[in-house]
């Protein structure tokens, strides 16, 4: 994205947060929500005519892009409501909604005896969605190394957040066998296999090539390091907000809206990751709009997850222990400072040569 578009994002999202503070006047909130959604669509339309990075089926991918815009416009409208009105609005899509998500709902550490009946009990709709999700993520990232790292890291995220989201509490064999070995690894390679059979371009986010691990471009090129961290961060936030929004808006796990969100995100992700890969390779023939849209989606979903915490569903309001909080803070700061070092402080050989030539002249 261009710097002007980044500034536009910061200003526009800051204004949204400022004007959407809780107000229990429902009529006023609806008015502000409609105006906000209209301004969001106008802002997206003002960026120039969208021509996506995927050149085949251009009309289809334009439809996918604007479907993502309408999804975000709805989230903008929702963000201007209070938590009571927002939860009742969900009944327009499913009359069964509008009631609290039961706090005593099924968790996956009820009985951790390593027995077939317990394993079979955990092969529910969540496991099916879990497998489909990893199949689709394989289509997005298309890098076996990064996907398998994320597969392992996904379990760390669940362990880090299980004190707040009880749904993440699982038995050891659920983490290792059902999730990591069966759900994650198998469907990652099925997704990669299908994408290769369809002759879809494969990505190399770590800059491996034929290099040894210590010479991967990830360690020396800010574009590779930045894109890897951006992938890691965006997938993490998307994963967490999916559960938080479900609880904050009292959406039942089997509601069609959960699948709809997954598919909209898949469409936006296909365009966004293609744009990111083209930027990593140094290609400039793309707009960056899909990444802009994904940034909006991550930001607005996070904001809604925080704003509607009051009387949310299956969430525990407890402090995060230091042994979880501090390693996360340290990891984020290290990634941030290392990217700054690669981007602004470390000079590439060609840059040094050009500077030396200028000095000699």
Q: What is the residue-wise DSSP string for 12-26?
A: HHHHHHHHTS----H
**What DSSP assignment string belongs to 104-120?**
T---BTS-----HHHHH
Where does residue 155 rank: exposed (0-12), middle (13-18), buried (19+ CB within 10 A)?
middle
pTM: 0.84
Residues in the chain: 361
Match 């416009």 to its residue by tokens: 73
Cα–Cα distance between 331 and 252 in angstroms, integer? 34
Tokens for 231?
A: 């992938």
The pLDDT tens digits of the residues spanning 266-308 come to: 999 988 998 889 888 887 666 678 888 899 999 999 999 999 9
Which residues, at least 6 apart from 293, have a Cβ–Cβ distance to it below 8 Å? 44, 65, 68, 69, 72, 268, 272
Residue found under tokens 């005593």: 104
pLDDT of residue 360 exceeding 50, the answer is: no
232: three-class secondary structure by DSSP: helix
Phi, psi angle pair for 25, to nearest 5°: -95, 100
pLDDT band at 101 (very low <50, low <70, confident <90, very high): confident
Cα–Cα distance, 96 to 102 (Å, whole number): 13
Which whole number is the average pLDDT over 167-179?
A: 83
In angstroms, rounded to a whole number, what is the distance separating the alpha carbons of residues 176 and 21?
42
Other CB atoms within a 10 A radius of the CB of residue 349 amount to: 7
Q: Give the whole-angstrom CA distance, residue 255 versus residue 271.
A: 26
Distance, in Å, from the CA atom of 54 to the CA atom of 56, rounded to the nearest integer, reads: 6
Give the integer Cα–Cα distance in Å for 361 and 355.
10
d(CA 325, CA 197): 42
Q: What are phi and psi of 170, to 5 degrees?
A: -135, 160
* Residue 290 to residue 114: CA distance in whole angstroms: 45
Q: Please provide residue 12's backbone torsions phi and psi, each rounded to the nearest 5 degrees.
A: -65, -40
Structure tokens at 37: 């959604």
pLDDT in tens, 210-268: 899 889 999 999 999 999 999 889 999 999 999 899 889 998 888 889 889 999 999 99
Q: What's the average model confidence in pLDDT over 133-144?
A: 89
Residue 131: pLDDT band (50, 70, 90) is confident
Please enumerate in sequence order all residues whose Cβ is within 8 A of that of 78, keeping only pairs 6 or more positions apart, or say none. Answer: 33, 86, 89, 304
Three-state secondary-structure class, residue 208: coil
């Amino acid at each position: 994205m261009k710097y002007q578009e980044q500034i536009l994002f910061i200003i526009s999202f800051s204004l949204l947060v400022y004007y959407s503070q809780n107000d229990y006047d429902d009529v006023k909130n609806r008015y502000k929500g409609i105006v906000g959604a209209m301004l969001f669509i106008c802002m997206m339309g003002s960026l120039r005519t969208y021509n996506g990075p995927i050149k085949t089926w251009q009309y289809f991918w334009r439809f996918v892009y604007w479907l993502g815009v309408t999804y975000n416009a709805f989230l903008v409208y929702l963000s201007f409501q209070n938590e009571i009105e927002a939860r009742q609005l969900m009944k327009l899509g499913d009359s069964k909604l509008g009631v609290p998500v039961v706090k005593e709902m099924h968790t996956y550490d009820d009985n951790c005896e390593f027995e077939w009946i317990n394993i079979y009990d955990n092969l529910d709709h969540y496991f099916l969605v879990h497998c489909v999700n990893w199949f689709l993520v394989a289509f997005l990232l298309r890098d076996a190394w990064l996907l398998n790292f994320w597969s392992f890291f996904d379990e760390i995220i669940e362990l880090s957040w299980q004190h707040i989201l009880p749904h993440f509490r699982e038995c050891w064999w659920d983490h290792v066998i059902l999730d990591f070995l069966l759900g994650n690894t198998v469907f990652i390679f099925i997704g990669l296999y299908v994408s290769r059979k369809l002759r879809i371009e494969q990505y190399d986010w770590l800059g491996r090539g034929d290099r040894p691990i210590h010479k991967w471009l990830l360690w020396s090129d800010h574009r590779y390091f930045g894109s890897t961290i951006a992938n890691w961060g965006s997938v993490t936030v998307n994963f967490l907000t999916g559960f938080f929004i479900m609880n904050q808006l009292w959406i039942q796990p089997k509601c069609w809206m959960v699948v709809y969100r997954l598919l909209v995100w898949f469409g936006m992700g296909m365009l966004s990751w293609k744009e990111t890969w083209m930027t990593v390779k140094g290609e400039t023939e793309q707009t960056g709009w899909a990444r802009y849209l994904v940034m909006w989606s991550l930001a607005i979903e996070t904001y809604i997850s925080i704003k509607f915490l009051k009387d949310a569903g299956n969430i525990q309001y407890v402090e995060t222990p230091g042994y979880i909080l501090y390693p996360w803070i340290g990891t984020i700061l290290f990634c941030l400072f290392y990217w700054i070092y690669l981007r602004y402080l470390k000079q590439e050989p060609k840059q040094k040569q050009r500077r030396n030539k200028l000095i000699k002249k």
